[in-house]
Amino acid sequence: MPAPRRYLIIAHRGASAYEPENTLRAFRRAIELGADMSELDVHLSKDGQLIVMHNATVDKTTNGRGAIKDLTLAELKRLDAGKGEPIPTLQEAIDLVRGQNGLYIELKAEGTPGPVVDLLRVNSFTARRQVIVGSFQPLLVQQVKELAPEIATSLLVEPVYPAEQLIALTKAVQADYVHLCWESRHLQPHKLLTPELLGALRAAGLGIVLWHEERPSELRLLRTLDVDGICSNTPDKL
């Protein structure tokens, strides 16, 4: 087996195996555990604030109910996101991690590219070591790159297509990274991520980020691959 290569350790929704996901507590724990970045998800509130949460509603991870787009920041801040943690804004996440690690921002909703770019620029938080902005929605990725060519972007895709298609999809939106996501498709991702696939992506000049994984047996194998980042709920295992 090849020796492990260096890659970004990306804490998925923060150190979410140990703390409530997408909270400042989870991002703080990720820093303590040595993560290079925390992955988080962004929506827009009713009053246009950038809210950190995975789902479009607050039902699953808080003691409230309703869609984020229908609630104001003040209403969202009254909710408990776990262990007494409030729902954070993107600005609060930036303030927490600045100078300690970076953010991998996944855009979840239409209308987020402009406000996210504006906020990152106002905070001088646009360097590649600080931030990557990605989405499953190609249009959102394309909009970020058109607004801010200096910001690194990624396209999240399931590697069920031939390498040529993955490359074409990623380059069509000018993304810097292809983020390979297999959760619903493959129980042994190391077999899916063949040398031929990864080699073709590299030859096309693309960076490679891997979907979150927690199984020690899989992590041992993923760590040997030529990739730029691996996501995990357990960043300390990477």
One-letter identity of residue 2:
P
First to last CA, the chain: 17
Whether 112 and 50 have beta carbons less than 8 Å apart is answered as: yes
Whether residue 54 lies in the annotated active site:
yes
Closest by Cα among 193, 191, 183, 236 to 213:
183
Whether 62 and 87 have beta carbons less than 8 Å apart is answered as: yes
Buried b (16+ CB within 10 A) or exposed e, 50-88: bbbbbeebbeebbebeeebbebeeebbeebebbeebbbb
Residue 234 is given by DSSP the state -
Q: Which of 12, 43, 190, 212 is catalytic?
A: 12
Q: Which of 43, 54, 179, 186 is catalytic?
A: 54
Partnered with residue 103 across adjacent β-strands are 38, 131
- Residues marked active site are found at 12, 54
